Amino acid sequence: MYRCENIGYALAAQGHDVTFAHLTRLEWPTVPQVALFHRPMASYRLWQALRWLRRRGVVILADFDDLIMDEAATGFSPGVMNGQVSRSVTRIRFTRHRWALNWFDGITVSTRPLAERVRRLSAAEQVRVIPNCVHRDWRRLQQQPS
């Protein structure tokens, strides 16, 4: 989520109106110019939201910071490796992430290798790398006593 917030704060610093919302609570005061979704997974709710946005001319972007859309990588998922999530459930989730790739006007990712994989797995024409960094508010955190 911090990746979307960092991008949103950067856009706000350039003078754009920015609203942060969860897919379950998409209520904007005005129609946005751009909507950015973090790790989107194909669902009817997402499809409806994207259709509503697209009808209003909104540029729709997805952001991925991990390889969660390639079913061949399910065995490397931390949830699978530590036994918290089954391989079959993870495979279904990865498949739904991959399906969602093609629903967006552009995709941002955290690394060049991830960008290359997304390009192979999707029809996305616009894939851009925005490297990970700490949340912009990290400096505001008060130092915790040890």
Instruction: Please count the structural domains in the chain.
Output: 1
pLDDT score at 113 = 96
In a domain, 56, yes or no: yes
What is this structure's pTM?
A: 0.82
SS3 69: coil
Provide block-wise average pLDDT over 10 residues at a time, the chain (146 residues): 76 78 75 87 94 91 90 91 94 95 93 95 88 67 59
In a domain, 80, yes or no: yes
In a domain, 23, yes or no: no
Residue 137 and residue 139: Cα distance in Å, rounded? 5
In a domain, 73, yes or no: yes
Is-contact 106 124, C-beta < 8 A? yes
In a domain, 94, yes or no: yes
In a domain, 85, yes or no: yes
Q: Which domain holds residue 46?
A: 36-136
Is-contact 114 67, C-beta < 8 A? yes
Strand partners of residue 60: 35
pLDDT score at 12 = 80
pLDDT score at 99 = 95
Which residues in 28-65 are b (16+ Cβ under 10 Å) and which e?
A: eeeebebbbbbbbbeeeebeebbeebeeeebebbbbbb
